Every structure is written in structure tokens, then in C-alpha cells.
Amino acid sequence: MFELIIYTALGILALSTFLYVIRVIKGPTVPDRVVALDSIGINLIAITGLLCILLNTSVFLDIILLFGILAFIGTVAFSKFLEKGEIIENDRRR
Amino acid sequence: MNGHDTNDLILQTITKVTSFIILLFSFHLFLAGHNNPGGGFIGGLMTSSAIVLLLLAYDLKTVRQALPINFIYVAAAGLLIAILTGVGSFLFNVPFLSHSFGYFQLPILGKTELATAVLFDIGVYLVVVGITMTIIQTIGEKE
């Protein structure tokens, strides 16, 4: 019963990731795609957590924090590129 | 820059808190590498990602002022440490890169396993941080 619930949640997350992938492909503007990619990262975090429960292990818990940090930095970098045209500025007060 | 000044107050405030959490996490990954997933490579990558977050929120000049380090020297120091841990095993008449470990009674931690493999891992960590930051800073300062 417990495993059935986990598998159902994994299926729902897979479906939601698939819908995000459609948004990434079809998204009319670039910010749509960036937000969809960020959400795919968050979905990956959820899938990793559920797999940790399913495989009865705790070694993937570091990966969850890693995904969170990488998704945050990636989204910030994309947003800064869209906003300013360059990711790393030489001197901000110019 | 598109001509208008942007105000990144939220990003800069979040960066001040988050970069320290990322640094702590990378330190944890570095020390956990012996018995758990982690190690010098991923620890170095997370440290450099904390510096990349600082670079994103501020600029190259500010980060240079905060961290006045030439990262090529960091990579060189890491290689030197890795080689010296290998050479150091000659002092005890054992083959190159032999590592050993022992159990010690430390003041706060109690009985702790200390391995010389950590010294080699510090070398890997410094090389990864140095190379990653050199690449990113070199690409960042175009024009």
C-alpha cells in the first residue's frame, strides 16, 4: 500500500515534468522557458526524495540540497542574462 | 547593460545569506567524502558555485576586493599538496602515494579517525576551485 502511494506520486510528478517539458519546447517567450526549467529542477528534487524513500537509503539527501542550489544559481544567471545582457559584469558602477 | 540602472536589493540580500550556507554545505561534502557521498571534487565545485553566486549578485571588481586571490596559484598549490602527500610516503619507506590512518582521542570530538587521504583531498579541492574560478573569471572579463 505504502509503495503504491509512492509510485502514484512518482507518476504524477513524471506527468507534471512532462507538461513542463512541453512548456519549455512551446513557450512563446524566453522567460516562460526559464521558469519551466526552474520548475523541472524542483520536480527533480521531489523525485529524488521519493526515490530515497523507495530505495530505503539516505545517501541521496545531499543531492537534494545540491539540486536546489544549482537550480537557484542557474535561474539567477538566466534572469541576469535576460535583464542585462551579460552575466558577470566587470564593474557595476560605471 | 541596457542603459538603465537596475536595483538588485533582493538578490544581493539573499546572496549574503545563501553563499555562507553553500560554503558550509561544500565543507560538509568535503569532510563527508570518506564514508558518505562527497569528496574533494564536488566540495570544490560547490565552493566555486558560492563564489559564482557572489559574482552574479555583485561584479568582478567587488569580488576581487573581497577575495584578493589569484586562482591560478590556488590550483598550483593544490597540485603541490597532492604531489607532496605522495612524496611524503617515501619518508616511511613505503611505495609512492601510500596512505594510512589512525584513531586519535580529540578534545571535543572524542575518538576520531584521521586519515592522510584528507591531505590528498585538500589538493583535489584546491585544484578544482582554482581551475573553475580561473575559467569563469577569464570568460567573465571580456572586452
Question: Do residues B125 and B43 make contact, with C-beta atoms less than 8 angstroms apart?
Answer: yes
Q: Is A92 on the interface with B (CB under 8 A)?
A: yes
Tens digits of per-residue pLDDT, A14-45?
Answer: 999 999 999 999 989 999 999 999 999 999 99
Residue B1 has pLDDT above 60, yes or no: no
Q: Which grid coordinates are listed for B45?
A: 565545485
Residues A85, B1: C-beta atoms closer than 8 Å:
yes
In a domain, A26, yes or no: yes
- Residue type at B80 in one-letter notation: L
In a domain, B60, yes or no: yes
> A46 CB contacts (<8 Å, ≥6 apart)?
A13
In a domain, B1, yes or no: no
Residue B5 burial class via C-beta count within 10 angstroms: exposed 0-12, middle 13-18, buried 19 and up:
exposed
Chain B residues with CB-CB distance to A62 below 8 A: 29, 32, 36-38
Selecting from B32, B36, B140 the residue whose C-beta is nearest the C-beta of A88 gives: B140
Domain of residue A2: give its range: 1-83
Tens digits of per-residue pLDDT, B66-104?
Answer: 899 999 999 999 999 999 998 988 888 888 888 888 888
Look up the ipTM and state it: 0.86
* C-alpha closest to that of B133 among B69, B39, B38: B69
Q: Considering its fold, how many domains does chain A have in total?
A: 1
Domain of residue B57: give its range: 8-141
In a domain, B41, yes or no: yes
Rounded CA separation B83/B103 (Å): 25
Q: Considering its fold, how many domains does chain B have in total?
A: 1
In a domain, A76, yes or no: yes
Coil, helix or strand at residue B77:
helix
Chain A nearest-CA distance from B9, in A, is 13
Q: Is B91 on the interface with A (CB under 8 A)?
A: no
In a domain, B108, yes or no: yes
